[in-house]
Structure 1
Amino acid sequence: MFVGHALLAFAVAALVADWRGWERRPALVVGVVAGAFAAIPDVDVAYAFVGLLRWQVADGVLGASTAFWDASRVVHRSATHSLVVGAVAAPAFGLLAVRGRSDRARVAYLSALAVLTALVAVALLADGPLAAVVVVLFAVSGALVARGVARRTTLSPSTVAIAALWGLWSHPWGDLVTGSPPDWFFPFDSPMLESRVVLHPDPTLHLLGAFAIELATIWLAVAVICRLTDRAILASVDRRAGVGAAYGLAALAVTPPTLDVSYHFVFSILGVGLLCGAVRGTRSIPVRRPRRRRLPRPRAESTLEVALTALAAVTIALAAYAAVYFFVTPVG
């Protein structure tokens, strides 16, 4: 879901900007900014690398991933995923996007620093040193994004603050079906949505549903990009994406995936998509044609075709797998 968080924030922000009458390029830019801020809460996963220090080579690759995710649960989806923290941090990130070296800019920077320092102090008092370290990473990441936006775009500080607020607030909702719910109101009690949303009692169908939500988010982002760049989605999808339908046979051959053990499913279905997107057919019989200068194919168009074909292949593969699993495998 790491990618989905950023893409959802991007798509909605860009669509709203377009609806408000913005020029297309600024609409895409504000979407990218919102997406960047939406990715920041997951900086708390950095602590999970501590788990790798306990991993031994004898445990294998699966042991490494288990150690990583077990360590991540210590602080993941806590302070950085809080709606309260997001509401306080977003205006501070907006202040850091003020340009220039004037007295006004200095006051804005000092005010932002004070707010972010206060957040670190609150995390320290409420949940200990580890939470404080995670909030420091969160604050530094947001500050880097804000300063980068100030240098490379013409977005106003208020727009940056709104984009940051949307990105930070949109993030926690994507975790409701894939893991434990976030600490919504840290440092206060969070009585809202205290358990995972179950899409289906069967753990495999639940995973397939969560994967479908992620795919739908990616398709939404792609649709927004195509809309704002005057491109047609279907025209960029090659028919080789249909090869993904063969992945349905995997439902008969491999262990059904769940949220706890999903690596074999995720890596294999993404591999099918990459192969369908990257491998291109060639003519088996050469055809003679009059000589003429061939214009180079635009790189952006070629990349878009590969990406959309791969995405379509993964979507078809998911539908085929789900159909075979549902109709052939007993669903409990």
Structure 2
Amino acid sequence: MFVGHETVAFALVALAAARYGLGRERALALGVAAGCFAAVPDVDMAYAPLGLLTVHSADALAAANAFWGASTEVHRAVTHSLVVAPLAAAVFALAAARDRPVRVAAAAGALALPVGALAVSGVLAGAVMALYVLAGVAIALLARRRLALGPRALAATALVGLLTHPFGDLLTGTPPEFLYPLPWHLLAARPTPFGDPTLDLLAAFALELACLWAGVYAYHRVTATPLREHLHGRAAAGAAYALAALVITPPTLDVSYHFVFSVVAVGAVGVVEPTKRRLPDLPSAAVTGLAAVTVAGVGYTLAYLLL
């Protein structure tokens, strides 16, 4: 799950802001900030490319395994903690304050987080936490300048983004360490709702699609734009992807590249327009492409179940 983290946070905040009458522009600004903050926990993936240095062959699968293997060294630990999130959200918001004493306090907090991670989990955890703090502070500063958000709004949106992110990872990979640095674990292993590795992957894929649709719905609801204006019938072409169940190896969470890349490629139908326009309409391309991928996913699932 990658983009879904951001769209869920965007949807929650934008819809809540609109519900309480903050206005379209303000609601969208708050939603965008929450979505950006929701991306921050995945900065721990910055360590993963180092795994490629251990690969001594041109085999793509070996490279992919090395990449994801290195990512597990620190992924979904220090940056995915529900305990750390409130402290980090406060630091991010205070770092964007205009008062110097407040920024000094934020600097102290920004230093304490990586030092604490270093003391508890070692050098790698400390380095990842430092990157986490830098990313969050950078987003807070950018949101203050570009979106005109104050410390309270930044703290609230950062908290939503950081707290919702770990739950989106429940069905994929190693469970997040929700309570880091405490010694307790909410989940010892990834949930397997179906027991069938392919259906478990398809469930995770469906969750990602649902999160993306939540963001699409929120945007159209807040802007009062009918969704049908951006949804075109060519999305139905995604149904042809059901035939893939006959030719590709059933994907699993361990080996899913052939499925993920091919089903996502179906979204290209959103860009192909039967007009002479040089550039496609971006909202229409996004919505139609997402609909095509959704149809493709449903078609493949039905075909897999029937085979």
Shorter-chain TM band: over 0.9
The equivalent of 2:134 in structure 1 is: 140
Counterpart residue type for residue 327 of structure 1: L
Residue 206 of structure 1 and its aligned partner are, at CA, apart by 0.8
The equivalent of 2:157 in structure 1 is: 163
The equivalent of 1:77 in structure 2 is: 76
The equivalent of 1:86 in structure 2 is: 85
Q: Deviations over 1:70-103 (max 9, x none)?
A: 000000001111111111111111111213xxxx
In the alignment, the residues of structure 1 paired with residue 203 and residue 228 of structure 2 have an alpha-carbon distance, to the nearest angstrom, of 24
- Written as runs of structure 1 = structure 2, the 5 A alignment for 1:136-285 is 136-274=130-268, 276-281=269-274
In the alignment, the residues of structure 1 paired with residue 144 and residue 273 of structure 2 have an alpha-carbon distance, to the nearest angstrom, of 41
In the alignment, the residues of structure 2 paired with residue 311 and residue 249 of structure 1 have an alpha-carbon distance, to the nearest angstrom, of 19
Counterpart residue type for residue 280 of structure 1: E
Q: Deviations over 1:125-164 (max 9, x none)?
A: 1000110000000010011011111211222201101111
The equivalent of 1:6 in structure 2 is: 6
The structure 1 residue matched to 2:124, chosen from 121, 127, 130, is: 130
In the alignment, the residues of structure 2 paired with residue 236 and residue 55 of structure 1 have an alpha-carbon distance, to the nearest angstrom, of 44
In the alignment, the residues of structure 2 paired with residue 203 and residue 166 of structure 1 have an alpha-carbon distance, to the nearest angstrom, of 31
Unaligned runs of 5+ in 1: 100-104, 284-295
The equivalent of 1:115 in structure 2 is: 109
Confirm whether residue 53 of structure 1 aligns to residue 53 of structure 2.
yes
In the alignment, the residues of structure 2 paired with residue 190 and residue 24 of structure 1 have an alpha-carbon distance, to the nearest angstrom, of 42
Q: Deviations over 1:101-130 (max 9, x none)?
A: xxxx11111101111211111101100011
The percentage of counterpart residues that share the same residue type is 47
Q: Would you identify which runs of 4 or more consecutive aligned residues in structure 1 move more than 4 Å?
A: none
Confirm whether residue 306 of structure 1 aligns to residue 285 of structure 2.
yes
User: Equivalent residue of 1:76, what SS?
Assistant: coil
Residue 193 of structure 1 and its aligned partner are, at CA, apart by 2.2
Residue 280 of structure 1 and its aligned partner are, at CA, apart by 2.5
Counterpart residue type for residue 59 of structure 1: A
The equivalent of 1:321 in structure 2 is: 300
In the alignment, the residues of structure 1 paired with residue 19 and residue 275 of structure 2 have an alpha-carbon distance, to the nearest angstrom, of 43
In the alignment, the residues of structure 2 paired with residue 157 and residue 48 of structure 1 have an alpha-carbon distance, to the nearest angstrom, of 33
Residue 42 of structure 1 and its aligned partner are, at CA, apart by 0.6
Give the conservation status (yes or no) of the 8 Å contact 1:122–1:187: no
Residue 184 of structure 1 and its aligned partner are, at CA, apart by 1.2
Residue 282 of structure 1 and its aligned partner are, at CA, apart by 5.8
Residue 197 of structure 1 and its aligned partner are, at CA, apart by 1.6
Counterpart residue type for residue 93 of structure 2: G
Residue 59 of structure 1 and its aligned partner are, at CA, apart by 3.4
In the alignment, the residues of structure 2 paired with residue 282 and residue 133 of structure 1 have an alpha-carbon distance, to the nearest angstrom, of 50
What's the TM-score, normalizing by structure 1? 0.89
What's the TM-score, normalizing by structure 2? 0.96
Counterpart residue type for residue 34 of structure 1: A
In the alignment of these two chains, the number of paired residues is 307
User: Equivalent residue of 1:34, what SS?
Assistant: helix
Asked which structure has the greater CA Rg, the reply is 1
Give the conservation status (yes or no) of the 8 Å contact 2:230–2:288: yes
In the alignment, the residues of structure 1 paired with residue 115 and residue 82 of structure 2 have an alpha-carbon distance, to the nearest angstrom, of 17
The equivalent of 1:36 in structure 2 is: 36
The equivalent of 2:16 in structure 1 is: 16
The equivalent of 1:292 in structure 2 is: none
Q: What is the Cα-based RMSD across aligned positions, in Å?
A: 1.6
In the alignment, the residues of structure 2 paired with residue 321 and residue 65 of structure 1 have an alpha-carbon distance, to the nearest angstrom, of 24
Residue 61 of structure 1 and its aligned partner are, at CA, apart by 2.0
Counterpart residue type for residue 298 of structure 2: A
In the alignment, the residues of structure 2 paired with residue 223 and residue 87 of structure 1 have an alpha-carbon distance, to the nearest angstrom, of 28
